[in-house]
Amino acid sequence: MGAPEPGHVEEIAPAWRDAALCFAQDLGRRGSATRTRVAYSRDVDDFARWCSRREIDPLTVSARTIRRYVAELSERGLAPSTIARKLAAVRGLFASLREHGRLRQSPAELVGAPKRPSTLPRVLKESELAGLLDGIPAQDALQLRDRAIFELAYACGLRASELVGLDLGDVDHDSEQLRVEGKGGRTRLLPIGEQAQASLALYLERGRPPLVAQGADRGRPPLAAQGADRGRGELAAQPTARERGQERALFLTRSGRRLDSGDVRRRLRTWALRTRTPGHVHPHALRHSFATHLLDGGADLRAIQELLGHASISTTQVYTRVESARLRNAYARSHPRA
């Protein structure tokens, strides 16, 4: 990045802070995911800081201003996908200002996003998935937990954030369903396959209790012990709201706390290496494989959309491209005159 222009300031001007707050409140009201709100807030602050340095007010921003900003992002060497995300945040900001009557038209509507390379999602073959999942032993608590996590991820097509957000009460063992809170606060009920059910039952019976106990050893006694103490009339400290949240979590760390998305990615990478699963395997690869294998089996695209929790069918249609690419490859390999 070049030298700052005249009027350089590091802080965001008050008018921009007010505009950013308006946008953040709108995202909150719409039920946008926490990660989305954080990412958009950071991107809007970057743009606001860039404009503040040039003494550009939110109400005087033009399409040309935004194009200059995008060009500078490109000069910094940012990936087209990153620039597209930042531009989406700026579009959202000005759409919010327009909705609140502060602007007649959004200048960002006239700015096109940079072209991103067309990449198909990574999909594992059924044999690769079987080798990965069956290759996770079921001997200790962490192995039982990991087997249940990845069986459930593939059986239900879950995002990593959805996996770690699951609570004990989200599993309905009688109806063999899973309640999932997805992006934008959208809730869906998903069927759980037999193998995932078996792995989950084994984890709940033999894997999770030791993790709860290990967490208790690091701090307070387990809930059962607290209840016994109260039954004998002894005083026992009530769990805090944070601890109650950990106690409800379906999947726990070694120390008895709720897993986070990073934990899931690291554990999957570990098992992929140990089972010699080819390629870069990440939680979304299991989700992509779930959708693609359903499509291969004849599932309707609308049904896959509902199972994945996509707000728009256009997001789900990427899997038709995966299927099309697979068929073209099969044709090229098999047809005598291809």
Q: Is 331 among the residues known to form the active site?
A: no
* Nearest partner of 155 among 186, 133, 125, 172, judged by Cα: 133
Active site residue 284: yes
Catalytic residue (one of 145, 208, 287, 293):
287
Catalytic residue among 159, 208, 288, 293: 159
Q: Answer yes or no: 310 catalytic.
A: yes
Q: Which of 183, 220, 269, 326 is catalytic?
A: 183
- CA of 57: how far to CAs of 48, 51, 86, 104, in Å? 9, 7, 19, 15
Among 40, 69, 154, 319, which one carries the catalytic annotation? 319
**Cα radius of gyration (the chain):** 25
- Report how far residue 185's alpha carbon sits from residue 264's, in angstroms, rounded to the nearest whole number: 21
- Terminal C-alpha separation, the chain: 50
**Of 53, 147, 208, 310, which is the active-site residue?**
310
Q: Is 179 a catalytic residue?
A: no
Known active-site residue 335: no
For residue 191, give the 3-state DSSP assignment: strand
**Residue 319 among the catalytic residues:** yes
Token code pair at residue 98: 């327009």
Side chain identity, residue 287: R
Which of 54, 68, 206, 284 is labelled catalytic?
284
Tell me the backbone φ, ψ of residue 208, rounded to 5 degrees. Answer: -70, -40
The answer to whether the CB of 158 falls within 8 A of the CB of 288 is: no
Give the residue numbers marked as catalytic.
159, 183, 284, 287, 310, 319
